[in-house]
Copies of this chain bind each other. A is one copy, B any other.
């Protein structure tokens, strides 16, 4: 099998009658080459279909022009926004995005970080399950930015769950609810912990009672168990770990003839595609996931250029999207 032939810098140099370094300069250092020469070189390169070999470039410079984004589950609509934002920001910065799926598995995540490490300029780790210690060690080899996970000393982009949960509680309180139930997700989830902590604090400040049930699987299938527990407890307002669970709960409530929001109000997190067209449309806390992905990628890109000692933590606003699943407390 003959290897596919691709023009190299020397091919271009020969065809253009100049040295390889001139071709290199024509591409990377336009200022330091005669305008005419440059035009000519570029024309020849174009005609030969030449494109610089990133591997060779990387070898010399140590920079690969590539950033890896690791997410727990690519098909989870929540991460679609993060991926898109990161991809956009990467394209803007002239970087290439490598995507890894960790299958919600810390081991797989560690292995990817290790294997991809030398191949990329940095990492965006979304909802990382790695212990702080391991993250810091990885950060010594590659710039890292975290999305929805805070670790001291690392760049982080997190949603403002304090303000967000306050909005949720205020909304429920203004509808006359005096108690809420939080349907918890995976125990290791950093954002889950923040969501619950925020809700509890906000509820207390409002004089509302907050109770946590679960953990439940943060998917549709987690709904039945959660919904049944809610009914048994006689709750009038529930806040689910995420939209998928919230929708699963509503499906079960419908099945059992319980009116939403007539008898029970339901709130989710994430504002995923579908939270707008489920029935009833879901009240949910929206995060700016695309922004988060983009900011995180930019943070990595910035660290590639200048290794800052104290990487920034960015807090992104959240917004309560009120739809049909919440209503006045039933008395």
Contact = CB atoms under 8 A, between A and B. Distances in A.
Interface of A: 1-4, 6, 49, 51-56, 58-59, 62, 64, 66, 74-75, 77, 80-81, 83-84, 87-88, 91, 96-101, 114-119, 140-142, 220, 247, 251, 273-274, 276-279, 306-307
Contact of A1 (B53, B54, B220, B307): B307
A191 to B, nearest CB: 20
Given A80-B80, A116-B96, A277 B251 contact: yes
Contacts of A1: 306-307
Contact of A118 (B6, B59, B80, B116): B6
A3 B305 CA distance: 10
Nearest to A306: B1
Given A55-B64, A80-B74, A274-B278, A98 B97 contact: yes
Nearest to A51: B118
B53 A118 contact: yes
Interface of A is mostly: mixed
Q: Which of A75, A83, A100, A306 has the most CB of B within 10 A?
A: A75
A111 to B, nearest CB: 10
A306 B56 CA distance: 24
A279 B279 contact: yes
Contact of A74 (B55, B83, B101, B114): B83
A118 B54 contact: yes
Contact of A141 (B4, B53, B55, B74): B4
B87 A101 contact: yes
Contacts of A273: 75, 77, 273-274
A114 B306 CA distance: 29
B96 A97 contact: no
Nearest to A108: B91
Given A80-B75, A140-B4, A141-B6, A55 B52 contact: no
